[in-house]
């Protein structure tokens, strides 16, 4: 379908959207526009439409498709739901979510995870228009205000801690023995301006954007994530790394090695790795002499 003249294309994920209302937050000095997603761009002029596109531009939609191609009035997509349900049941995570957060909130978390996988995005304002035609775990498709409030106020740290403990123990029950720790940051211009853990830093676009740092522990055999830590962005936190190492060791899980993004390759972290004598993989800050560094490492090991 042709992209409407009043539509915009997102630079990050090619999402096409309409700005319904422009709002400027004078106190925080940034725009908080009300947007509606109408599909995804395949070029600067054409796009794949969703149901919102048909609703807003029925004439354009009907002019550009044959009678047999026209969208039915009701078109429910069930594939992602079926896949998520099967995976959640087979690995046991859906049952853990229900036991930890209760059925309603567990279903909301599953819906949000489904949306994140389908759209490669976590922007709550796009949830309802994007998932309107998907079969979800919840009885209704929640709007931006409710979903944001849920993520901010309804989930307690106590519940999150219980979920993390239950999940890692489930992984151990399923045979988890060795892990890799992966340490990185969300420095790709995230919009987490009101998150307590976000800090301004050097984003990938070269601008000063909001950053949240995180580390994952993943199964050394298949890459399945089983625990994580999130902490204040822009900081290299070797204390959090040590804490996660001690936590996993207390459960009988062996750290097989550490993977570091170049922004986290500071002296304290390297000294910590050497203290525990872990193998490691690091993205070098400058690749001009990368081959020399690799040879030095191989000679030592």
Q: How confident is the model at residue 131 (pLDDT cuts 50, 70, 90)?
A: confident
CA distance 84 to 108: 13
Instruction: Judge whether 269 and 185 are in contact, CB under 8 Å.
Output: no
Which range has the top average pLDDT, 82-86, 252-256, 280-284, 295-299?
Answer: 82-86
In the predicted structure, residue 112 carries a pLDDT above the cut 80: yes
Q: Which contacts (CB < 8 Å, 24+ apart) does range 64-69 have?
A: 64/1, 64/2, 65/1
Q: How confident is the model at residue 106 (pLDDT cuts 50, 70, 90)?
A: very high
- Range from 36-45, 115-124, 263-272 carrying the lowest mean pLDDT: 263-272
For residue 41, list its beta bridge partners: 47
| Nearest residue to 56 (alpha-carbon basis) of 159, 144, 129 | 129
Q: How confident is the model at residue 217 (pLDDT cuts 50, 70, 90)?
A: confident
- Range from 12-21, 165-174, 262-271 carrying the lowest mean pLDDT: 262-271
Instruction: Judge whether 105 and 155 are in contact, CB under 8 Å.
Output: yes
Q: What does the pLDDT read at residue 85? A: 94
- Which element (helix H / strand E) includes 164? helix 157-173
Q: What does the pLDDT read at residue 216? A: 83
Per the listing, tokens 């229900």 go with 98
Listed in sequence order, the residues at least 6 apart from 226 whose beta carbon sits closer than 8 Å to its beta carbon are: 167, 168, 171, 176, 179, 217, 218, 219
SS3 66: coil
Q: What is the pLDDT of residues 145-170, one digit of tens each?
A: 888 888 888 889 899 999 999 999 99
Q: What does the pLDDT read at residue 192? A: 54
CA distance 203 to 7: 26
In the predicted structure, residue 276 carries a pLDDT above the cut 80: yes
Percent of the chain with pLDDT over 90: 20
Q: What does the pLDDT read at residue 3? A: 92
Q: What does the pLDDT read at residue 31? A: 61
Q: What does the pLDDT read at residue 138? A: 92
Domains and CATH numbers, the chain: 7-69 (no CATH), 79-155 (no CATH), 176-300 (3.30.420)
Q: What does the pLDDT read at residue 191? A: 57
In the predicted structure, residue 190 carries a pLDDT above the cut 60: no
pTM: 0.66
């Amino acid at each position: 379908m042709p992209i409407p003249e009043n539509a915009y294309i997102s630079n990050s994920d090619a999402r096409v959207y309409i700005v319904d209302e422009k709002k400027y937050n004078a106190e925080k000095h940034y725009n908080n526009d009300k947007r509606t997603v109408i599909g995804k761009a395949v070029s600067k002029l054409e796009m794949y439409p969703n149901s919102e596109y048909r609703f807003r531009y029925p004439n354009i939609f009907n002019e550009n498709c044959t009678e047999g191609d026209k969208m039915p009035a009701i078109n429910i997509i069930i594939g992602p739901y079926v896949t998520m349900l099967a995976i959640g049941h087979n690995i046991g995570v859906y049952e853990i979510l229900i036991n930890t957060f209760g059925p309603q909130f567990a279903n909301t978390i599953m819906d949000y995870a489904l949306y994140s996988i389908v759209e490669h995005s976590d922007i709550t304002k796009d949830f309802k228009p994007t998932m309107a035609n998907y079969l979800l775990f919840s009885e209704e498709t929640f709007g931006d205000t409710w979903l944001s409030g849920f993520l901010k106020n309804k989930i307690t740290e106590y519940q999150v801690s219980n979920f993390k403990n239950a999940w890692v123990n489930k992984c151990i029950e399923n045979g988890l023995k060795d892990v890799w720790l992966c340490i990185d940051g969300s420095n790709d211009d995230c919009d987490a301006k009101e998150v307590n853990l976000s800090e301004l830093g050097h984003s990938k676009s070269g601008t000063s954007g909001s950053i949240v740092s995180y580390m994952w522990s993943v199964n050394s055999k298949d890459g399945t994530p089983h625990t994580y830590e999130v902490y204040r962005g822009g900081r290299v936190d070797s204390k959090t790394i040590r804490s996660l190492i001690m936590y996993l060791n207390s459960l009988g899980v062996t750290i097989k090695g550490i993977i570091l993004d170049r922004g986290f390759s500071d002296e304290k972290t390297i000294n910590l790795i050497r203290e525990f004598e872990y193998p490691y993989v690091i993205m070098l800050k400058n690749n001009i002499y990368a081959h020399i560094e690799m040879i030095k490492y191989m000679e030592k090991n």
